[in-house]
Amino acid sequence: MTDVQGRRDERRARVREEGRAILVVLGWAVLAAAAWLAFGAIAIGELGKDRGWPVWWFVGASIPAGVVIALMRRASRGEPRLRDRILWAFLVGGAISIGIGATLNGLLIVGDIESGPIWWVGITEEGAKLVTALALAGGIAKTFRTGAMLGAAVGFGFAVAEDAGYFFGQYVEGMTGWAEQAEFVVTRALVGGGMHALFSALIVGAVAAAWGRPSARRILGALLTALLVAAIHSGYDWVLMNGYFGLVDDLAFEPTDLLTIGLQLVLLLVLLLVLRRSGRAPEPAGSSLER
């Protein structure tokens, strides 16, 4: 009974420690979001410091991504190589994957984008994130868990870079008030970040599992996962580009739309559940990534 009670106490201590760590990350995120809103309201809204727009947009898009990256690095603290690669994949992988994806989109998506060409988006963007994540993995992406974490990191980096393009488009077309811009940044960052991270986590995780332990079932599963996720990605973009269900008006997400708000929460929740259920990090002593 003593050993059983000791293990229970140890588990409770770990849960409390993880809970405190999550609260710390969320606390910093709330503080960053408050500072971000204050800067927009005072510096841009009241004082007219329009030079601050680009930095303000970029920071707003980065806050949700930074929260999940921090939690993933916390979960992989017993795996220093994975921990470092997660940060590297987020900071560098986003720039590389958006460069590949944007180039392919420019070559393949021409003409009436609302019809056929938009269906290339899922293949080009998910393919770009997959190649980038595997290239930056340094040989450690051999389980679903490691692949999913690296894929999510690249996905968030991709989303931040993509959002910067949308925000710059708003700047070129003529800015509205800072409050309207804040709505656009928040909804775009949450939807785009959660979706890109979830999609690439599923594909890279499945491919990594098949690569680490090849079998007909895993290879077929990776192929089907990639095709299904790419199709969902393209279908979602097609819905947005055609303006169905009132989700979008010229790519500006409406934060008052309950469906959009629900989608934000569901995407982030599903992503966290995928990463949590894909396997726990080993203990620091004698740990191995190829487990």
pLDDT band at 252 (very low <50, low <70, confident <90, very high): very low
Considering the chain, what is the average pLDDT of its residues? Answer: 80
Query: How many other CB atoms are found less than 10 A from the CB of residue 175?
Result: 14
Residue 119 has pLDDT above 90, yes or no: no
Residue 290 has pLDDT above 80, yes or no: no
pLDDT band at 173 (very low <50, low <70, confident <90, very high): low
Q: Which of 122, 135, 128, 131 is nearest to 100 (CA)?
A: 128
Kindly list the domain boundaries of the chain, sorted by start residue.
2-277
Tell me the whole-structure pTM to 2 decimals: 0.80
C-beta separation of 88 from 73 below 8 A: no
Query: What pLDDT digit, counting tens, does each position of 99-117 carry?
Result: 999 899 888 876 655 556 7
Q: State how far the Cα of 106 lies from the Cα of 266, in Å rounded to an integer.
A: 31
DSSP the chain: -HHHHHHHHHHHHHHHHHHHHHHHHHHHHHHHHHHHHHHIIIIIIIT--GGGHHHHHHHHHHHHHHHHHHHHHHHTTT-HHHHHHHHHIIIIIHHHHHHHHHHHHHHH--S-TTTGGGGGHHHHHHHHHHHHHHHHSTT---SHHHHHHHHHHHHHHHHHHHHHHHHHHHHHH----HHHHHHHHHHHHHHHHHHHHHHHHHHHHHHHHHHHS--HHHHHHHHHHHHHHHHHHHHHHHHHHTTGGG-EETTEE-TT-HHHHHHHHHHHHHHHHHHHHT-PPPPSTT--S--
Largest CA distance in the chain: 71
Q: Which of 162, 152, 164, 163 is nearest to 67 (CA)?
A: 152
Residue-level pLDDT at 13: 73
Residue 268 has pLDDT above 70, yes or no: no
